[in-house]
């Protein structure tokens, strides 16, 4: 896995290290849907950039700040999603884009030496797994599976869900990319398909899956390795409570935006020990906080 080069950069306003001292280095984990992009489809597909989102990433790049864009989407490859964002003007390289699917592939490749995996999901998800050298089994070979992993798809087939349940019931490790109920991208909500399929297998087998996307510690470790950053130097930016939970799992700080999955009332109800560093309306409000001299310039 490539790493984002380390650089020196100013801190987020008000951020401190564990001893209360102001830091001068920042690295960012940035959500896509409901944060950078307003969309009804996972990973930013078919959406439009949030106001100032393009300028926000330009600002980070100009100041040499490291960032990884991370989505809980898993249906396509990181390259597919990153290319789509670049077409919108959002400066995201392939190596700086992490999906729940790529995080799952990284974890499984590290922890299951045989690589014999029963994977349920769409073609892009399967391509992400094979790109890590994993041997994906067909449903007729479920007895050989060391692990089962479920990602997103539009057209799940009963024979694959049956094979996944049989493999888990037979003792295979069980993973899911996400366990959130709904997808929020700033335009309504829709069911998180991989969560629903994983819940079906869990209901049948009585085995709960290990989550490998947000907010799992496994994903947090992947992100820290990619950024090559200390946890205290990382800010996780997102519109959902899972991003706040991810930040706590990483030992990092969070900025929560109210432009997608979380209402102001839900943000106010977060327990004191788990609150984000800042709660802001959207990425435009964050950009204005970081670069007040550009606040009155025309929006991108």
Q: Which pLDDT tens digit goes with each residue over 200-256?
A: 999 999 999 999 999 999 899 999 999 999 999 999 999 999 999 999 999 999 999
Same domain, yes or no, for 109 and 91? no
**Domain identity same for 206 and 231:** no
The residues, ordered by sequence, that sit 6+ positions from 174 with a Cβ below 8 Å of its Cβ are: 147, 148, 168, 198, 201, 202, 205, 207, 208, 209, 210
Residue 10: inside a domain: no
Q: What is the pLDDT of residues 102-147, one digit of tens each?
A: 999 999 999 997 779 999 999 999 999 999 999 899 999 999 999 9
**Residue 13, in any domain of the structure:** no
What pLDDT band is residue 266 in, cutting at 50, 70 and 90? Answer: very high
Co-location of 221 and 290 in the same domain: yes
Identify whether residues 218 and 148 lie together within a single domain. Answer: no
- 73 neighbors 100 (Cβ within 8 angstroms): yes
Say how far apart CA 9 and CA 64 lie, in whole Å.
6
Last residue of a domain, one of 178, 211, 244: 211
Tens digit of each residue's pLDDT (9 = 90 or more) over 27-55: 999 999 999 998 766 656 677 899 999 99
For residues 253 and 116, membership in a common domain is answered with no
Residues 117 and 162 in one domain: yes
pLDDT on residue 114: 79
Q: Does some domain include residue 47?
A: yes
C-alpha closest to that of 90 among 39, 41, 45, 53: 53
**CATH at residue 167:** 3.40.50.1000
Q: Are residues 90 and 52 in the same domain?
A: yes
pLDDT of residue 20: 37
**Residues 52, 114: Cα–Cα separation, whole Å:** 46
Which pLDDT does position 14 carry in this prediction?
42
Tokens representing 49 are 């950039």
The encoded tokens of residue 47 equal 């959406």
pLDDT mean over 94-102: 95
| Cα(220)–Cα(20) distance, integer angstroms | 23
pLDDT at residue 19 tops 80: no
User: Does residue 226 sit in the same domain as residue 93?
Assistant: yes
By residue range, what is the domain housing residue 172? 103-211
pLDDT cut 70: percent of the chain above it: 87
Q: Are residues 81 and 230 in the same domain?
A: yes
Q: What is the average per-residue pLDDT within 263-290?
A: 93
Average pLDDT over residues 259-283: 92
Same domain, 171 and 201: yes
Distance CA 26, CA 186 (A): 27
pLDDT beyond 80 at 285? yes
* Structural contact between residues 56 and 24, judged by C-beta atoms closer than 8 angstroms: no
Secondary structure percentages of the chain, helix, strand, coil, to 5: 40, 20, 40
Q: Do 202 and 109 fall into the same domain?
A: yes
* pTM as predicted: 0.86
* Domain annotation covers residue 255: yes
Residue 165 is predicted with a pLDDT of: 98
| End-of-domain residue from the set 153, 183, 211 | 211
93 and 108 both lie in a single domain? no
3 state DSSP class of 286: helix
**Within a domain: 15:** no
- Asked whether residue 2 is domain-assigned, the answer is no
How many domains does the chain divide into?
A: 2
Asked if the structure places residue 218 within a domain, the reply is yes
Of 211, 234, 249, the one marking the end of a domain is 211
Confidence bin at 187 (pLDDT 50/70/90): confident
Between 75 and 23, name the one with better pLDDT.
75
């Amino acid at each position: 896995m490539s790493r984002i080069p380390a650089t020196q950069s100013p801190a987020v306003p008000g951020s401190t290290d564990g001893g209360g001292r102001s830091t001068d280095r920042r690295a960012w984990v940035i959500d896509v849907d409901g944060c950078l992009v307003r969309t009804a489809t996972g990973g930013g597909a078919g959406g439009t950039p949030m106001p100032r989102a393009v300028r926000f990433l330009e600002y980070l790049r100009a100041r040499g700040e490291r960032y990884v864009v991370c989505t809980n989407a898993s249906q396509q490859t990181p390259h597919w999603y990153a290319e789509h964002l670049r077409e919108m003007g959002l400066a995201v390289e392939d190596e700086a884009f992490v999906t729940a699917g790529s995080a799952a592939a990284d974890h499984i490749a590290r922890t299951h030496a045989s690589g014999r995996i029963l994977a349920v999901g769409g073609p892009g998800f399967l391509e992400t797994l094979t790109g890590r050298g994993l041997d994906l089994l067909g449903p007729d070979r479920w007895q050989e599976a060391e692990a089962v992993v479920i990602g997103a798809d539009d057209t799940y087939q009963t024979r694959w869900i049956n094979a996944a349940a049989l493999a888990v019931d037979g003792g295979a490790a069980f993973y899911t990319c996400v366990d959130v109920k709904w997808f929020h991208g700033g335009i309504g909500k829709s069911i998180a398909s991989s969560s629903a399929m994983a819940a079906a297998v869990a209901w049948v087998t009585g085995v709960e899956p290990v989550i490998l996307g947000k907010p799992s510690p496994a994903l947090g470790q992947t992100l820290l390795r990619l950024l090559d950053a200390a946890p205290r130097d990382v800010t996780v930016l997102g519109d959902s409570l899972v991003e706040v939970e991810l930040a706590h799992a990483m030992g990092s700080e969070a900025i929560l935006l109210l432009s997608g999955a979380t209402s102001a009332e839900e943000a106010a109800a977060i327990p004191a020990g788990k609150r984000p560093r800042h709660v802001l309306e959207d990425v435009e409000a964050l950009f204005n906080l970081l670069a007040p001299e550009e606040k009155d310039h025309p929006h991108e």
